[in-house]
Structure 1
């Protein structure tokens, strides 16, 4: 008897076939002595369109909405641009899978689609559509190497074990269909004018657009204010150095007159070194990549890269068995992966100039079950790449470097702070000087991050007498918030805008934020790049360099759309959290979906009653 394995894509099917010695190639599957490997092409099935349930729905008519089917049905996916024409390739492959399932020598089926909400959905609806009545199991693995496939086959889960993940996948799909179909159709009929001017309204599209909108409004409302800083050049027995005036915690002053008076007061005077403090600070390597961090890194470091491109290149490397599962939100590894990680580390550090500095460690910062959700962070596999294109090389090297530096020592810097005092007419005037010198290169030996130049201070001692040999007032202006980039928008989506990422991101703070907000986000690691692409395709936002700017159309839809809950990041975050809870078995899917259906019905009626506003000139729209 044989076991049938269903992969998500042909490339993954071939990887499994190679590992299990399935060498007989057939149309749509591979066969070996014990296993048959077949595959989907991602989604082979799609939900019915409205008109599939009722021909009356062919014509867009406000009176037909809200529309929520009593039973959700599936059909073979359609050819892009032809909603009624079934994809012949998908139909053929479904028939192949069905025939293999029904073979008398096939006793059980193993699901090997991606182990996440979407991967489980793909297999679940296939099995229901073709009416599988044989035992189904699930392989849980993080990469498609031979070792991992064989390990996974010895640790199978039952289909019953996967029920909650299946419920979450189906709930997500029905949720997005109901909200998308109803609000997109009714909003387009109500507000849109112009041929083909469809208003794309969705659960994740709208709050993401709102974050771009809010940032634009912050920038528009921002009023630049002048401020002044006073710098003094001191001469000491050991040379010159500069100091910046401060008072309590203030270093920037709004009135030039007061700073000019201060400058006159201290001109040419002697001062004294009040204190010299030194502190050794350690800088640990940045955490392992999850998909959001990887996309942010690539889009900020490489010109022309988008989040969508980073995801596609990562997927290509994954299917080539070179990296672990990329659509992860975790920045740590499961503790069970210690032996595997050591093997990978030994392979990749070999021959490097800093090989001796890379030493395996079981640090909680790297291996921590509490920080792993479904899939571990992205790391390379033990397989050495042979032929990669330039984009694949860039992304692979980033992942490999980030993995290797985890096992190197922290960089160390000697931070020196000098406070110099000049006695003014009535008060002592204080000036701050900082220096930063690297004393141990640590992980920066390998890191491609820019190494900042040392800020070397001349030797200074407490009570040393110095002289003010020149003073300078610098006029500066406050700057508006920066436009969102793909990197900052991805991070805001990951945390529903709960933290604003700074340029020098603090890993500990970021990890703490993600832990508190676990499950509470806009979209998932697998879908955020697609959401940004949808916003561009809908002409709601556009790229200008690395900045994302809102368009007039995007502005208007945010300002007129009456269902404010769909613009609220907290509301969307709670929907995503509910899906997360369904996945964990902590929420009933029917309770959740009934709430969504009620919300949709109320929202559609509200749009119908809304005032008439035009976005754009209208012709009858058809599905």
Structure 2
């Protein structure tokens, strides 16, 4: 019987496999060999697509006449600085005594692509090949993954989508970057007084640039509008509350052109007229008392995008830094696989979840986590989790949400402050889903003063539930007010105190942070603040959980965007806005988030075997050809020059803060 070869994505993962499987092996150059098994590793990507000059040397010189560049067969090559390790893996794959290969690269599209390219360049040796698909690097999960490894060909559609994603980025990047640089690059370099400007274009990158530039222009063009609200102090004995006027049906001002909205006026004079009209009144009549109960459940679990956004808000770090930390925590066996889009766990995981929580009860390093885990176990709060919104197999593709494994308490002592804080953030979110919901009581009062209506609503938390561990939003002063307001009845008459007029003004839209941009990318360009709504409308986004942080980082590195390191706020650079103008005037569809998301959806359809890879490839080539031919025919260089000068003047007058 021959040997089993295990191929991992990184050396550290291979060492983890060796340790957990208790292999006592001989260390070779780039591998470890035991009696029945060999362990080797990639070092991330070891094979890449060749540049056009590898097809024909004439393509080295950028020439409009050579575009579009659409190879019939794609060429690949080994990345020079990892060739030694590639040769090691290749020779092991081709060894006569190896009869089965376990593919243990990361369980996702990129991990699949990394191995498939190595296998291809190694000559696709004829061996039994099995795919190890795991959600964490715990001993139990690794053993399960090996035992349940499926034939590699069952993942062929995933590999097809990975190859297509790379070809798509290659074709659009090579063709459109060369096209726009040759047509417009000289004008940008002239306006910027730079020797040479290369216009970098990317399927996702250009779209993200467009989102940031469009938001910046909305802010620049925003005009503040003032409005005026009227409120009154209403009291009973020594207790009082502020009520706010609204122009509902029956009001003198209902649907009046003098209104800014139903609770404010366009001018202070009109607000003052209302106050003067109401001043003679001494008593306010309680017209309606409405009491309601509200139940609020813990938010869904973290996927990578949600965690990146939360860490940007809480710790002011970039999505790339967040990914780096959670990747380390994954490799230390403390968290499950981080590059996931799911915010729920599977039915299978739910059945075993008590084991994870039981492990967390022993986390003496953090008594809070241990106590809350113990409380869950004591109250048997895991019993109905499978019927909850937190468990849904239909919302999981490759991996379930990021949750703690319950292991790695020893490793916690080695964590830095930020690593520990992010780990605890995930653990607390995880534990919160087992706690009861928070319960609120709400009372809404409508008061009548000379036919005009004033409103007051107050809500208090009466049962904290999951808020015990996630956050606390109880306010003592609200509780005190609630008690007496809750006692009011319809028909009560209260004393009228001072009227007041408050001036407000409209606010411009917020700039994106690196974290909120991740959320916007996940939702095809829409920054949806509400957590539950995001989950309801979520479809195919821009980019993937594995690539979004890297795209933002690249835009910053090539000086198209800049980021404030303290706030993580993103703004376009002058060069970024000029590139935007060029793309918008030549291939505007590259800036369209919905179109960009549709390409990602197409890749997903290939993975799910809903369309053939050749169908996707045909549409991609047509899109490339059609846009190149159209831009070649355009004669808008003077218009572009004017727009570039407008950008330069804008930055001269108002540099973004």
TM-score of the superposition, structure 2-length normalised?
0.87
Gaps of 5+ in 2: 249-260, 646-657
Q: 1:565: which partner in 2?
A: 589
Q: 1:368: which partner in 2?
A: 392
Tell me, what secondary structure is at the counterpart of 1:184? Answer: helix
1:509-552, Cα deviation, whole Å (9 max, x unpaired): 222112xx2xx221001111111112112222112333211222
* 1:531 equivalent among 538, 541, 551: 551
Does the C-alpha gap of structure 1 residues 331 and 449 become closer, same or farther in structure 2, counting only changes over 3 Å? farther
Tell me, what secondary structure is at the counterpart of 1:21? Answer: coil
Q: 2:510: which partner in 1?
A: 482
Matched, 1:442 2:444: no
Q: 1:174: which partner in 2?
A: 167
Does the CA-based 8 Å contact 1:15-1:145 persist in structure 2? no
Q: 1:284: which partner in 2?
A: 297
Q: 2:345: which partner in 1?
A: 333
Gaps of 5+ in 1: 78-85, 617-623
| Deviation at residue 66 of structure 1 after TM alignment | 1.9
| Deviation at residue 356 of structure 1 after TM alignment | 5.2
Segment drifting more, 50-59 vs 466-475:
50-59
| Deviation at residue 412 of structure 1 after TM alignment | 1.5
Tell me, what secondary structure is at the counterpart of 1:459? Answer: helix
| Deviation at residue 258 of structure 1 after TM alignment | 2.2
| Deviation at residue 30 of structure 1 after TM alignment | 2.2
Tell me, what secondary structure is at the counterpart of 2:452? Answer: strand
Matched, 1:45 2:57: no
Matched, 1:501 2:528: yes
Q: 2:16: which partner in 1?
A: 15
Does the CA-based 8 Å contact 2:444-2:458 persist in structure 1? yes
Q: 1:459: which partner in 2?
A: 484
| Deviation at residue 35 of structure 1 after TM alignment | 2.2
1:234-280, Cα deviation, whole Å (9 max, x unpaired): 12135111111112282122232222111112225211222222222
Q: 1:82: which partner in 2?
A: none
Matched, 1:393 2:420: yes
Root-mean-square deviation (Å)? 1.9
Q: 1:579: which partner in 2?
A: 603
| Deviation at residue 295 of structure 1 after TM alignment | 0.4
Tell me, what secondary structure is at the counterpart of 2:85? Answer: helix
| Deviation at residue 171 of structure 1 after TM alignment | 0.5
Structure 2 Cα separation of the partners of residues 23 and 254 of structure 1: 80
Q: 1:271: which partner in 2?
A: 284
Does the CA-based 8 Å contact 1:20-1:32 persist in structure 2? no
Structure 2 Cα separation of the partners of residues 556 and 434 of structure 1: 49
1:191-213, Cα deviation, whole Å (9 max, x unpaired): 22234532110100111111112
Q: 1:94: which partner in 2?
A: 86
Q: 1:223: which partner in 2?
A: 223
Structure 2 Cα separation of the partners of residues 449 and 548 of structure 1: 30
TM-score of the superposition, structure 1-length normalised?
0.91
Q: 1:321: which partner in 2?
A: 333
Does the CA-based 8 Å contact 2:351-2:386 persist in structure 1? no
1:326-383, Cα deviation, whole Å (9 max, x unpaired): 0100000111112432211112244534445423233431221011121100011121
Segment drifting more, 467-476 vs 183-192:
183-192
Tell me, what secondary structure is at the counterpart of 2:71? Answer: coil
| Deviation at residue 402 of structure 1 after TM alignment | 0.9
Does the CA-based 8 Å contact 1:20-1:35 persist in structure 2? no
| Greater relative contact order structure (CA < 8 Å, 6+ sep) | 1
Q: 1:543: which partner in 2?
A: 563
1:103-182 to 2 correspondences below 5 Å? 103-131=95-123, 132-182=125-175
Structure 2 Cα separation of the partners of residues 449 and 321 of structure 1: 31
Q: State the number of aligned residues.
A: 593
